[in-house]
Amino acid sequence: MNKLVVLLVSLLAISISGCASNDKYVQWETEAPDQFPKLTAIGYAPLATQPAKEQSHKVLMAMQASKIAAYRELAEQVYGQQIDAHSQMSDWMLNNETVSANVSGMIKGAKVVKSYPAGDMYVTELELDFAQVWDLYQQQNRPRRLKEVTYF
């Protein structure tokens, strides 16, 4: 009987406390950072090793490859780079060692500053202005901070 009373009192207390959290209205306000950094990245691609027969196609392919390399560098700066390493030993001697790197992320708002040939390479320079990234982020995610709470 005492266990039943304790159980009923506990359930009543839990149900009352659950209702208490719904008696307020919270208003949020967006807050911008104090300053916005600008990141730059440079990507390189060799002209000679592009898999095309004509020189004009090799240039176009190298342009695209250097742009992708520059975007990868930006992603490394923004999101970091994941490094995985594996070593294998036998008889206290290193038999095999592998290291791999992985970058994953989405870059929005970057712009091409320059794209030009340099010797047998093609170079692309990118810039990522976080003020523009902030504006893009505001349109999609609307970060918030507490503005006002009204209790009823």
pTM value is 0.67
Per-residue confidence (pLDDT) for residue 34, from 0 to 100: 87
Other CB atoms within 10 A of residue 41 CB: 22
Report the range of poorest mean pLDDT among 21-30, 93-102, 115-124.
Answer: 21-30
Alpha-carbon distance of 56 to 6, in angstroms, equals 84
Render 61-100 in DSSP notation, one character per residue: HHHHHHHHHHHHHHHHHHH--EEEEEEEEETTEEEEEEEE
Instruction: Judge whether 122 and 43 are in contact, CB under 8 Å.
Output: no
Give residue-wise pLDDT tens across range 57-83: 999 999 999 999 999 999 999 999 999
- Residue 43: band (very low, low, confident or very high) from pLDDT cuts 50, 70, 90: very high
Range 104-120 average pLDDT: 94
pLDDT at position 144 over 90: no
3-state SS class at 139: helix
